[in-house]
Amino acid sequence: MLMDISNYHSLPLSIGGISALISSGNLDFIAQTEKRYANFICPGTAPLLKIEVNILSEKMVPNLATEMERPEVTFDQGTDRVTFVWQGLSGELNLVSREARMRCPLHPTGLNSFLRFVYSLVLLKELGFLVHAAGLIKNEKGYIFPGKSGVGKTTIARLSPGATLLSDDIPLVKTGGAPFIFGTPFWGDLAVGGEKTSAPLAGVYFPVKDKKSYTERLKPRQVFEKLLPNVVFFFKNEKFSKQLFNLCFDLATKVPGYELHFLPDPSFWEYIDAG
């Protein structure tokens, strides 16, 4: 699937223990990527993914200014190829060879969007997924705070002095055995990438802005129902959806979940630390 990239420049990245070799003939793209993903550059690792990036001029991308609410994603079961088109970005991934190709203008959001797409699929076989949440480590324990935009994910990250930031928008979770949470370079309003580290996942907390801070324990089914809509996934496919369903259900039965009612101050940590 990939072209001869012997003359390309490459960067090795590792996110959630899954290594990817990013290759391109465009030096500006390589420099931009090296700066943006500095925390996740990991030389010397054998890549599980190979991603070739072709940079296009903006005049070659007619739908660059077209607003698309969701990406267009198609799956060819005969070739195991998934294609992805969204706002000037196009690409494809072979699920068997794990080789991918991306075409986009020179803009940092291009690779960022494509990596989310690729990792959301590859993670299924690794018993993991990406989730819209703030992810933090405190006292060697990992926590996720899932929710859509506006629920307070970035606020919680800002109000957590002493905690290690994994992401204020999309951390990575693996559920095989004991669930773990991993840092990612995918950021929200903080505009800061997470740390390349991980921790056992100790709790799932769904933020609720309130006039006082407290936690309310949820049943596993409630955790599952609240978690599933926040998982990062781009298209409907019965096989993949079932895998994702099972991973989320597994997590909900292994890790305690709560509604976290909180004020805009760090006092909510007292309730989290109390268990």
Please check whether residues 218 and 261 belong to one and the same domain: yes
At residue 69, the pLDDT reads: 64
Of 74, 101, 126, the residue that ends a domain is 126
Is the pLDDT at 256 greater than 50, yes or no? yes
pLDDT of residue 22: 97
Distance separating alpha carbons of residues 36 and 155, to the nearest angstrom:
22
**Are residues 39 and 134 located together in one domain of the fold?**
no
What integer is the mean pLDDT of 109-115? 93
Q: What is the reported pLDDT for 121?
A: 94
Residue 168 lies in domain: 129-273
Rounded Cα distance between 34 and 22, Å, is 10
148 with 78, same domain? Answer: no
Q: Kindly state whether residues 90 and 111 are assigned to the same domain.
A: yes
- pLDDT of 66 higher than 70: no
For residues 221 and 86, state if they share a domain: no
- Note the pLDDT of residue 275: 73
- Is residue 204 within 8 A of residue 248, CB to CB? The reply is no
Say which DSSP state 59 is in: G
Residues 135 and 122 in one domain: no
How does pLDDT run across 177-191, given as a tens digit for each residue? 899 999 999 999 999
- Do residues 171 and 245 share a domain? yes
What pLDDT was estimated at residue 44? 87
Residue 5 pLDDT exceeds 70:
no
CATH no. for residue 262?
3.90.228.20
Total structural domains within the chain = 2
Same domain, residue pair 200 and 104 = no
Mean pLDDT over residues 65-94, rounded? 83
Closest CA to 15 of 90, 82, 115: 115
Q: What's the pLDDT at 3?
A: 45
Indicate the residue among 126, 161, 190 that finishes a domain: 126
The pLDDT value given to residue 4? 47
User: Is residue 4 in a domain?
Assistant: no
**How large is the average pLDDT for residues 241-250?**
95
pLDDT tens figures, 19-52: 999 999 999 999 999 999 999 999 988 999 999 9
- Residue 119's contacts (CB-CB under 8 Å, 6 or more residues apart) are 15, 16, 18, 130, 172
| Residues 163-167, mean pLDDT to the nearest whole number | 98
Indicate whether 118 and 137 sit together in one domain: no
Residue of higher predicted confidence among 65 and 69: 69
Q: H helices within the chain, ranges in order? A: 27-36, 108-125, 153-158, 220-227, 238-254, 268-273
| 2 in a structural domain | no
Per-residue pLDDT at 88: 82
Final residue belonging to a domain, choices 126, 152, 186:
126
Within 10 Å of residue 191's Cβ, how many Cβ atoms?
A: 8
